Structure 1
Amino acid sequence: MNENIKSANPLGTQKESKLLVKFAIPCIISMLVTALYNIVDQIFIGQGIGINGNAATNITFPLSTTCTAISLLLGIGSATNVSLKLGAKEEEEAANYAGCGICLMTIFGLALFAFTSILLTPMLKFFGATAEVLPYAQEYTRIVAIGFPFLIANTGMSKLILADGSPRYSMISMLIGAIVNTILDPIFIFTLDMGMRGAALATILGQIVSFCISLRYMFHFKTIRLRRRCFRIRGNNFANIMRLGASACFNQIAMTVVQIVMNNVLSHYGASSVYGSNIPLACAGIITKVNMIFMSFVIGISQGIQPVIGFNYGAKKYNRVKKTYLLALATATFLSLIAFACFQLFPRQIIRVFGEGSELYYQFSERYFRIYMFFTLINGIQPVTANFFNSIGKSQLGIFMSLTRQILFLLPLIVIFPIFMGIDGVMYAGPIADVAAAVVCGVFTIKELRELSRLNSQQTV
């Protein structure tokens, strides 16, 4: 009996709080690293190039979220299937999902690089680039696009590493790449006077380093063995990866769509305000990336619980599923309160980190922070809940949860409100969308938690 306990997968036996710490912290750090790539570039570009450089990184930001969307689609999709199959003791099928996911990451990464390179200028104009900002955005994106295949593969593989029970390795891979980027940014931008090209080059070199570290692990899985036959795209594997990765992917796609629309709205209505077009573009881009730091904690928690919930749901340990979700939700809410306090109390101090500007620049950024981010305190509910439904195999609900804030509520509001309120309408759209999304998530979550309690009571009878 002791041997059985010893050999049991800790995902099904270890205390839920310990598992949350073990898996969520590396996920948080991985997400922070992704945010750090953008923020470090933004800081050094702001200090070395100015407002037009900051605005350019905001214009190119939809491409970063597109990379994240693809990597989460394939990474979380394959990792969730791996977790569910391991929980059901189907190790060979788990290996097939891992191999299929890696193949898809390679194909999608190369396709995005080719698409971006061919349609670069019209794409950047569509994203909202003004005549002053376009040259900076072109210079930056031409080089950054080279790193797309490495970024997608590395982020996707990190989810497989996590599902294999090695969160620390996943964290180290992402962290080393970020350190490389942070060291090279000032050298390339200031010492070698390479400007936007330097920031882009530092970014892709960091991504390549992280990719190489993650690739090494693919030959050293603990719970599965990847053979040559695993690296095939089978129809059933492909469909299930897409189904269970769609929730996280659509959340990022929704962010991309909203960012593109918002850039155009800010540029249009900013031109007829005292701020002009470029100040709103630069400020909104900075605030979006600062918010990424907070969301890295929340999304990291939501991703960290995926292997725990997926394994226990597959093993029919419903009480552990419920406890893990509620613990993750409480932790995300606590962190949301801290972020709310920072955004409300220190907006000017935060914006100063990204370079100096006029008094109008600071006025807009302070108002944007305080109004648009007012309901940050409840922003942990939606991502944790969306990934909860995805982890138990209810992908349709997970997709719906992912789309609530961005597509169902925020997107229509940032188009409608400015018609009546000018550029201020964008700011007030944010908190209203946050409240509406939290209410919708709450309704579905209560119903699902009752179902888990019912299933658990049936097992104990």
Structure 2
Amino acid sequence: MALDLTRGAVWRVIPAFALPLLVGNLTQQVYNLTDSVIVGRFLGKEALAAVSASFFIYYFIISLAIGVGSGITVVVSQRFGARDHDAVRRAFSSFLLFASVAGAVLSVVGVVGADGFFRLTRTPPEVMPYALRYFRVYAAGTLFFILFYSALSILRGIGDSVWPMRFVLATAVLNIAFDLLFILVFRWDIEGAAAATVLAQACGVALAIRHIRRHDLLSLRRRDLVFDRPLFLQGVRIGIPTGVQQCAIAIGLVALLGIVNGFGADTLTAYGAAGKIDSIIVQIILTLAGALSAFCGQNIGAGRFDRVHAGVRFAMLFNVCLCLVVLAAILGFGRQMMGAFTEDADVMAIGQEYLTILGAVLIFHGALSILNGAMRGAGDTFFAMVTGIVSFWLIRIPLAIRSLHI
């Protein structure tokens, strides 16, 4: 159900929209986490390291498509706020066609380029065979990942965060079930973990399309599948800076992965496992920023700039409270968190150190994410691009390189 974010108390409307969004996003992170736990426990630390290495390379491959998708979402939210429902349908149709083509092309790129990607990042020799086997199956399903992401983004753009949550919950349950079936029963090894995720996403696409075909606003018949060039280009103009930012960060993550690989398999395993916990924590902040983006988009479309300012203030206060709670939890239970992935003492110690540093700087990351979310809702993605690239390439990467000499 679409939610009108231009009405109601700000402190009530943003959480009402963000909560289902958060449940869906956290569920997605949890089933990614569960995937890693199952792989680490039943297939060994080399297989877990392969999953970790694959994530960052895959993120780079799809980052530009995700950036363009974010631009279309802004267009949809602003048009929905202005009550221009015909433009919403045209924007949805345009991005659906783009996502289908982009997904097919990127699937081929991922499968064909797998060997070169892992050699470029200096993947440890003992991890390489697992990484190639996992990644080729995983990359073959890129079409499903992009279509699923597209459908959820459009629904969120019109203020519907409940159905996306349901679809993510369904895919999470399916992914865990397929993981256990393919790894423990069929003995498909690490290929089974990748196949489980791809098949779950394909089921998610089928569920989302079935829902959209019955949606009053988004229902598209074959004759409605048109490519609206002006609307698409507006989305591209908004989304390209985000795409550039995502690509720059993805390249940075690949470079960072190369640095981490230089420390050996234990550090790579700890980095991947702690990174899963990191992703869950950061996802809460990013969900708030995403909800604020949709909130700002609708209210700017409706001319309610007073609500935009109130929304940013509320999000900043929430960020401070959240980060203090997270820091306390990491200081008290960091080692226990790592213990869910492995019993290796060295890996646990490295991961605990990672989480402690994360907790200390999280509040600054949260504040920046909230400002970026508000600016994206306004259609200004250049600010987010600059801050994202500067913080990653001028701060994070140099510090990582410096750590090689400590």
Q: Return the alpha-carbon distance in structure 1 between the equivalents of residues 386 and 360 of structure 2.
A: 24
Output one character per residue of 1:265-311: Cα deviation in whole Å (capped at 9) or x when no partner: 1222x2xxxxxx11111111111111100111111111122222111
The match for 2:128 is 134
Alignment correspondent of 1:319: 306
Which residue number in structure 2 is paired with residue 342 of structure 1?
329
Q: Distance between the aligned counterparts of 2:27 and 2:100, measured in 1? A: 21
Look up the match of 1:395.
Answer: 381
Give the letter aligned to residue 363 of structure 2. Answer: L
Residues in 1 aligned to 2:368 and 2:106: alpha-carbon distance in whole angstroms: 28
Q: Does structure 1 residue 207 correspond to structure 2 residue 207?
A: no
Measured after TM superposition, the shift of residue 408 of structure 1 is: 3.5
Do 1:50 and 1:355's aligned partners in 2 also have CA atoms closer than 8 Å? no
Report how far residue 162 of structure 1 moved.
1.5
User: TM-score under structure 2 normalisation?
Assistant: 0.92
Instruction: Pick from 106, 110, 123 the counterpart of residue 116 of structure 1.
Output: 110
Distance 1:382 1:64, change over 3 A: farther
Which protein, 1 or 2, shows the higher relative CO under an 8 Å CA cutoff with sep ≥ 6? 2
| CA–CA distance in structure 2, aligned partners of residues 63 and 50 of structure 1 | 21
Does the CA contact (< 8 Å) of 2:290 and 2:373 recur in 1? yes
Distance in 2, Cα, partners of 1:127 & 1:221: 44
Pairwise CA distance, 1:188: 2.0
The question of 1:420 aligning with 2:405 is answered yes
Match of 1:175 in 2: 169
Matches within 5 A, 1:250-265: 250-265=244-259
Q: Which moved more, 1:323-332 or 1:50-59?
A: 323-332
1:220 maps to 214
2:252–2:397 contact (8 Å) kept in structure 1? yes
Q: Percent identity?
A: 21
**2:37 corresponds to which letter in structure 1?**
I
* SS in structure 2 of the partner of residue 375 of structure 1: helix
Q: What residue number does 2:281 align with?
A: 294
Aligned to 1:57: 51
Note the alpha carbon deviations across 1:363-409, whole angstroms, 9 max, x for none: 32222322354312332112221121010122222322333422342
Question: What is the match of residue 351 of structure 2?
Answer: 365
Cα gap change, 1:72 to 1:25, in 2 (>3 Å): farther
Q: Deviation string for 1:383-436 (max 9, x for gaps)? A: 221121010122222322333422342123323x13532xxxxxxxxxxxxxxx
Is 1:154 the equivalent of 2:148?
yes
With over 3 angstroms needed to count, the CA separation of the structure-2 counterparts of 1:156 and 1:329, relative to structure 1, is: farther
Q: Which AA in structure 1 matches 2:317?
A: A
Q: Aligned residue for 1:307?
A: 294
* Contact preservation (8 Å) 2:78, 2:301: yes
Matched residues in 1 for 2:244 and 2:286: separation? Answer: 14
Aligned counterparts of 1:253 and 1:19: Cα–Cα separation in 2: 33
Over 6 Å off, 4+ runs: none
Q: How far has the Cα of 1:38 moved from its partner?
A: 2.5
Instruction: Quote the Cα distance in structure 2 between the aligned partners of 1:252 and 1:332.
Output: 23
Equivalent pairs, count: 405
The CA deviation at 1:12 is 1.6
Compute the displacement of 1:235 (Å): 3.7
Task: Point out the structure with max Rg over C-alpha.
Answer: 1
